[in-house]
Structure 1
Amino acid sequence: MNRYKIEAPVRSFSGESVGVQFTRGTGYVDDSTKDGRAALEYFRRHHYGVALADEKTEEERVQEMVTGAPAQRGPIAPDEPFDPAKHSVDEVLAHLGEADLSEATRVLDAEAAATKPRVGITSKREDILAAKGGAGQ
């Protein structure tokens, strides 16, 4: 059995995803069960950081192999703005919980403009914006 540390793309995410509990973007799962192995495959497919517990993530190992230099560790700084289309409803809601009014409005507008806007997000627009001190636009 191996235990894996999972790093969510949304570092502020706290909650459950694929049966794994996350706190501030970090969760742990082992490969001793079918559900654990399925969760690991899901996280790899969706670009979560996956590494044996207390080791480097796959992305850090690849960077070291390509550059020959150790990967820089530290907070994950996205290269581009948060795109709700690339995240689950839970991840988007977690991001919105941490976002300021401007960012929340931008993300909610992007979700509403999507080909298939998700009701689990769009139905909460007024409440989210009101909680941030904005009008329910």
Structure 2
Amino acid sequence: MTNKYRIEAPVRSFSGDSVGVTFTKGTGFVDDSTKEGRAALEYFRRHGYGVAPSDGKTDEERAQEIVTGVPAQREPVTPVAYDPAKYNQDDVLVYLDSLADKDSDSQAEFDRIIAAERDGKARKTILARGEQKQEAGK
């Protein structure tokens, strides 16, 4: 089961990204369904951010629900694709390992990451992981 958390930044006026989480007026949301999400939660706890379970609704959505009596309608959130160029080599390798021996979607994601790496930084160790998987599949 995935848990969603509300993160309160120490600087209440902060709007922007921190550890892959978008904050608006000092509030951000993250879930623990991914390694990145779990790492962000640990970072926030270590650095004095407020971390509490949440249903993901903003203060504005809660206020709208109270005033109108109608649950706030939310735009669907499009997940951001993992970009290997934003991570160090070790993190990319861990991500690739998390995709190993899974379904066809995981295989497609693995292939996408290898292609992005080839077209971007082209780090030899990461590209070698793709070649190893290709050799194992023969």
TM-score normalized by the length of structure 2: 0.43
Greater share of helix: 2
TM-score normalized by the length of structure 1: 0.43
